[in-house]
Each structure stands twice: as structure tokens, then as C-alpha cells.
């Protein structure tokens, strides 16, 4: 059976891999089976996604003659830790999976990150594939090979670079995605326009109503353009050695401070990133790089996507600074931020005036303070 799909390639030499995007891909063996080299597959999912889609994926794999086992993790960022990572290793060892096994991540960013990290560690490295089921994971975390778990002192501080063999994005799954999760994914879509693709930013402004209505053709275009941007960045700087890939972290230093400070799972990742991107825009304005109109443009687009645009009132300036000090981009104790020289042009800098940074933090992006309730503030 052949199902219409669009394919984007992540160009990494002999480790290049395709991203297949389309409706109904869970029914298309041509998307997945050619990329599984052994006969053993472990499906890693969570207790929200597994009841919806695990049976369909398992049936596809078993019809291809593969031996399939499964493990189901609890759903939530708060479970992205060593304890729950070990559930994956337990399943692999109990099923006597060999070095030729493949791990299949069926879920959102937490499942993908943990599955990839487990694949990097099990018998010093086995194959894995990504089948992302949230918008955020489809446009961001499933692509590029960053895997890992959280630590109480910092988000994603323990992990490995581990590229998948294929990413299969079935857009049909977005029909069951809760509104809050859907908006959280749009934050990462908007990010690509802000950091490197100004025409895409304008396209998002013109099509946000259709995106919020989950129009299939508009969604497919947004996902494809996001994946193209991510693939180009990863190909240019796979291991984040020359600051190209670091640009993908616009809003993340602020956002990770929110996630860590508020407790993992209180704010969704995309919600924290959205607020963080507006804080980055605010600081860029204070540095003289953006106009007030530019900042307003960012704020309005985030609001149209039903995303929060103010920081949580529970976090004081010193709380932010303490959590921001634990960031993978920092070098020799210097805080490094991704800011905007212009809309569509991000930069990494350690030269932001600390007094201006404090102004941004104190102002909550210049918009007052609020807490997230149901995904918007």
C-alpha cells in the first residue's frame, strides 16, 4: 500500500535519515520497515498514547515479520528521570534483546528523548526510530538526535547525541491532541520563523487561524517547513560545536528556568519556551536590536496561538538567574543567551548587559506577572 507523503532528509553523510510526513502513515509499511535492520523491536510509549496507537504500530511491525515487545511509561515531564529510564532497560533485558534490536519511540518529546537515550546506552548503542505523536515532537524533538533525561537541578542535562534511523510523522494523530498540547507545539513552529526564516514567520501570521483550526493541508505545510529548518540546522552543526544549532534554543534558557523552577510538568515545554521567546525579544529590544513593534508582533502571534506570554509570578529575578546559570550553552561560567538581532536573525551572545537582563526578568517581558492555567495566561 502506498500513501501520499512528503519526505525531508536530514543530511548527515552515512547517518542521513528521512522524515516522512503525511496522513495515515501508521498504515504504510514502506515508511518504517525498510529502516529496521534487526528482527527485534521494543515499542516505548506512555499511558496516554499507547491505548490510542500502539496496537496499529505493533500490527504493522508484526505483519513485517518482526518480533515486538512493548513498555509503557507514565505520561509527563516529571517522569523523565533515571528511575523511569530503567523501565526501558528492564524491558530490553527481560525480553533478551540483542545489540541488533531497534527501539521505537511512540509518543511526545519525553518518550522520544528517553527512548533515544536508552538506545544510546543499551549494549553501548542500538538503533532507534522516532514516531512522534505531538506537534511539538513532530517539529522539534524527534529531529536532530538530542536525547536525555532531566535532573532536579537542570533540564536535559544528562543525555547523548543519538540520531534516529527514520522519523515517521503521521499527521492524523494531531486530531486527538488536547488543545493545550497543540498550542505548545506551535511555540516551536513559531521559533523557526523568529530565528532564521522571516518568510515563514509572515506565513504563520497569515495562516495562524487555519493552524488553530487544524486544517490538514496547513498543518502539513507548517510541519514540513519546520522540519526543513531543523534539518538544515542539524546538518550544519550536529553536535552544537559552532553556535549554529544553539540558535534553536531561542527562549529555552528562560523557558528551562520556568520549567525547573515551577516543577517539571507544571508548565508544558512549549508554554515555557513561548514565554521565554518573548522575554528574549524584550531583552533584544532593551539592547537596541528590536523595535517595540517587533516585540509586539511576537507577542500577538504567540497570543493567537493561545500561548502564555508572561512569566510565573512565583519566580523572582534571583530564581531565574539561579536556574539560568545551569544551562548547556554556558561557557566558563558566562551566561550565553540566544537573542534576536532582527526578526528572522538570531544570535548567541554572552555580552547582554546584566542590568538589562534583570530589567527583563523583573518586568516579566514587560507585561506583568501571571501563572499558567490551562495553557494560556
Contacts of 43 (CB under 8 A, 6+ apart): 54, 57, 58, 61, 68, 69, 70, 71, 104, 106
Domain boundary among 120, 150, 176: 176
| 227 shares a domain with 135 | no
| 144 shares a domain with 48 | yes
Cβ-count burial 115-140 (b if 16+ within 10 Å, e if not): bbbbbbbbeeebbbbbbbbbbbbbbb
| 224 shares a domain with 148 | no
Number of domains in the chain: 2
Residue 93 domain-assigned (yes or no): yes
- Predicted local confidence at residue 3, as pLDDT: 67
Residue 377 domain-assigned (yes or no): no
Helix (H) or strand (E) holding 114: helix 109-121
Q: What is the mean pLDDT of each run of 10 residues along the chain (377 residues)?
A: 81 97 93 96 98 97 97 96 97 97 98 98 98 98 96 90 98 96 98 98 98 96 98 95 94 95 93 97 97 98 97 92 82 85 97 94 60 37
- Predicted local confidence at residue 377, as pLDDT: 34
d(CA 62, CA 51): 18
- Separation of CA 109 from chain center: 6
- Predicted local confidence at residue 331, as pLDDT: 65
Residue 339 domain-assigned (yes or no): yes
A 10 A CB-CB count for 242 gives: 10
Residue 81 domain-assigned (yes or no): yes
> Which positions are annotated as active-site residues?
124, 146, 188, 230, 240, 245, 249, 252, 256, 269
DSSP state of 207: H
What residue numbers bound the domain in which 159 lies?
Answer: 6-176
Q: Considering only CA atoms, which of 252, 300, 293 is closest in space to residue 272? A: 252
d(CA 346, CA 340): 4
Domain boundary among 145, 176, 207: 176
- Predicted local confidence at residue 128, as pLDDT: 97
Domain boundary among 120, 155, 176: 176
- Total length of the chain: 377
The enclosing domain of 264 has a CATH number of 1.20.1090.10
DSSP string, 229-268: HHHHHHHH-TTS-SSTGGGGGTTHHHHHHHHHHH-TTSS-
- Predicted local confidence at residue 326, as pLDDT: 81
Q: Considering only CA atoms, which of 141, 88, 84, 143 is closest in space to residue 113? A: 141
- Predicted local confidence at residue 375, as pLDDT: 36
A 10 A CB-CB count for 94 gives: 10
User: What is this structure's pTM?
Assistant: 0.92
Amino acid at each position: 500500500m502506498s500513501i501520499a507523503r512528503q519526505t525531508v532528509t536530514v543530511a548527515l553523510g552515512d547517518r542521513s535519515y528521512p522524515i516522512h510526513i503525511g496522513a495515515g502513515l501508521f498504515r504504510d509499511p514502506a515508511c518504517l520497515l525498510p529502516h529496521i535492520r534487526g528482527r527485534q523491536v521494543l515499542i516505548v510509549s506512555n499511558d496516554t498514547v499507547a491505548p490510542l496507537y500502539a496496537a496499529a504500530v505493533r500490527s504493522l511491525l508484526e505483519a513485517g515479520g518482526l518480533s515486538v515487545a512493548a513498555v509503557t511509561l507514565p505520561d509527563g515531564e516529571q517522569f523523565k528521570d533515571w528511575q523511569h529510564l530503567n523501565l526501558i532497560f528492564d524491558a530490553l533485558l527481560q525480553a533478551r534483546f540483542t545489540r541488533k534490536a531497534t527501539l521505537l519511540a511512540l509518543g511526545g518529546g519525553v518518550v522520544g528523548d528517553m527512548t533515544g537515550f536508552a538506545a544510546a546506552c543499551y549494549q553501548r548503542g542500538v538503533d532507534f526510530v522516532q514516531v512522534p505523536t505531538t506537534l511539538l515532537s513532530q517539529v522539534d524533538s524527534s529531529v536532530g538526535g538530542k536525547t536525555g533525561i532531566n535532573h532536579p537541578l537542570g533540564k536535559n542535562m544528562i543525555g547523548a547525541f543519538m540520531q534516529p534511523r527514520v522519523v515517521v510523522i503521521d499527521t492524523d494523530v494531531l486530531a486527538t491532541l488536547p488543545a493545550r498540547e497543540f498550542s505548545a507545539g506551535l511555540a516551536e513552529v513559531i521559533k523557526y520563523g523568529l530565528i532564521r526564516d522571516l518568510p515563514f514567520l509572515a506565513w504563520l501570521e497569515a495562516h495562524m487561524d487555519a493552524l488553530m483550526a487544524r486544517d490538514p493541508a496547513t498543518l502539513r505545510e507548517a510541519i514540513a517547513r519546520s522540519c526543513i529548518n531543523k534539518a538544515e540546522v542539524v546538518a550544519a552543526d550536529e553536535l552544537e560545536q559552532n553556535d549554529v544549532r544553539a540558535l534553536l534554543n531561542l527562549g529555552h534558557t528562560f523557558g528551562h528556568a520556568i520549567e525547573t523552577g515551577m516543577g517539571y510538568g507544571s508548565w508544558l515545554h512549549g508554554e515555557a519556551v513561548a514565554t521565554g521567546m518573548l522575554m528574549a525579544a524584550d531583552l533584544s529590544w532593551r539592547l537596541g536590536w528590536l523595535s517595540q513593534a517587533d516585540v509586539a508582533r511576537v507577542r500577538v502571534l504567540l497570543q493567537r496561538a493561545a500561548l502564555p506570554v508572561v512569566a510565573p509570578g512565583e519566580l523572582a529575578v534571583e530564581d531565574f538567574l539561579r536556574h539560568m546559570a545551569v544551562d548547556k550553552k554556558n561557557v566558563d561560567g558566562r551566561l550565553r543567551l540566544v537573542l534576536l538581532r532582527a526578526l528572522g536573525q538570531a544570535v548567541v551572545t554572552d555580552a547582554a548587559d546584566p542590568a538589562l537582563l534583570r530589567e527583563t526578568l523583573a518586568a516579566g517581558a514587560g507585561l506583568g506577572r501571571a501563572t499558567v492555567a490551562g495553557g494560556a495566561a
